Structure formats: structure tokens, C-alpha cells
Amino acid sequence: MGSDVIRLGSRGSKLALWQAEHVRTEVTRHTGRKVEITKIKTTGDMILDVPLAKVGGKGLFVKEIEEALLSDRIDLAVHSMKDVPTDLPGGLEIVCITRREDPRDAFLSVKHARLEELPKCAKVGTSSLRRQTQLLSLRPDLEIGQLRGNLDTRIRKMEEGQYDAILLAAAGLRRLGWEGKIRQYLPTDLSIPAIGQGALGIEIRTADARTREAVAFLDDSDTAFAVRAERGFLKRLEGGCQVPIAAHGTIAGGIVTLVGLIGRPDGSEILRGRRSGNLSEAESIGVALAEELLSRGGKKILDEVYRESGQ
């Protein structure tokens, strides 16, 4: 294959391919180099009949793609940062994080315009313990239904009447041009987003200087610092995307502010905290906030969650 061709690995979902096409277009426009997309099926794509929290493990949506990078079958991968574990395989690196799309959770429903308008005991679909925890703390009467599959599958299930409402990341819907389906954006103080939600990460082999140079322009420093703080929080908690934790970083005037959460899946107990500091301290702010929540009872909650899920 010619040295001017960059091989990009992507999951095969509509959203993953949109993200891959977006990066392909930008890289070609910026560097003139050709980018070819290879579809790769991940463990998370193959196991659709089991809730993610029960599958266990980390990197369910990235492992096979990282293996393709390490074996030199592809040169770069585009990931949703919320899917990327904090410990990367040796020889691989997230070299840039793109400008963040809307990080909020979105409320979708055929009949109801807002979360507050859901009738008593309505059924809400989500595959996220993080969303479930925060939702049940507000509305313990609601019934949570496990919702897996690609975005179009999830929306179809709602439209068929299997759920009164569903919760999804606003970013994916907006990227696909489906923001018209969003009835309500949930404020981040009501539903703290997942770590890295709305941000894309570009992963390459550390030694591949040519690809690094080709994608460097995609990095957005504010997003990168915010996500670094969030991932510091995640790393200290040793959590994957299947545990009831959340963190969201924002940048203003050279200061990063991080809000974080640990909760019980039934919403009966939620611990929240907030920390701020200089950009250079982004990761350590995340670690410090995690330590604070662990000491306030978060360790007990997470130990119970892991025990119940057999992780």
C-alpha cells in the first residue's frame, strides 16, 4: 500500500462510520493524503443480548481495533472517548482529542415533551448505569428497561412503543443530523455526562511519526484538558463505562472545573463533588475528586456494584 495512504479502523455502526468519514475528510483536506476506512467488529458490537454492566471488562468497543493497530493492519483509529479505557496497550497513544460536540444527555419520546411529564411508572430505555442512577434518584417510580443496539435500533424500539422514552447522548444524534428527534436536553446538573462524552479521540502507534503529524491539527486543547480531568477521575476509580460514575469538565479563563458522581444503580444514594484548578493540574484534579468521593462512601458503593455484577 502506498505510503501516502492512511488506513483508518472504525466500528461499523452508522455513528462510528460518520465519525470516521469526518476525520477522513478533514485529514485529506488538510494534508492531501488519502485515507481508507476498514470496518472492524468489536466485542461490544457482537454482544447485544446482555446489559453492558453484566458483560464486564473494559474496552469492549476498542479492543479489536487496538489489536489491528498493534499488528499494523491500520494506522489510526477514531474512538468515542467515553469508550476508551484509561490504560492503553503499550505502543499505542491517544494523540489528539477533537473539539467536543454537545456533551449532554438527550431525552427522546413519542408522546412526552419533557422528562418531568412522564407518567408514573413509565418505562425508560437506557443501557447506562450512570443514566439509570441519576434518573431513579429523581424519579424512583420509573421502570428502567435495558436498551442496546445502534442508535437507529434504539430509536426504532422507542417508536414501536417498547419504551415511553429513551435517553441517549446528544452528541451522536447531532452528528447524524437527528437532533430533531431530541425532545429535551438534560442539563448537566440533572444528568452529569459520561467521562469523555461528546469527544472523539484519535489513537495511533506511538512510533508512527508520520500519522501523528497528519492528525495533529485535529486536537482541541480545551476539550483535551477537560477530558484529561475526567479521565483522571475515571482512572482513580478504575471504572469502565459499565459502572454508576460520571464526570464532566469545563474550561473557563484557564481554569478547569470538574464535577463528579458515584451512585447506587437504584438511585437511593448519590455522592457528588466539584473541584477546580489550573489546566496543568487537570488529571490530578480528577484523581483528587475521585479520592474525595471514595472517602465519603463511594468505595463502599462501588465495591457492592462490582460484587453484584461479578466483576
Q: Which residues are catalytic?
A: 83
Residue 29, C-beta contacts closer than 8 angstroms, at least 6 positions apart: none
| DSSP calls for 126-176 | -S-HHHHHHHHHH-TTPEEE---S-HHHHHHHHHTTS-SEEEEEHHHHHHT
- Do β-strands 245-252 and 143-145 pair in parallel, antiparallel, or remain unpaired? unpaired
Distance CA 13, CA 18 (A): 8
Q: What angle do CA 27, 29, 33 make, to 5 degrees?
A: 60
Taking the alpha carbons at both ends of the chain, their separation in whole angstroms is: 42
Backbone phi and psi for residue 285, each to the nearest 5 degrees, phi listed first: -65, -40
Mapped onto helix, strand or coil, the DSSP state of residue 275 is strand
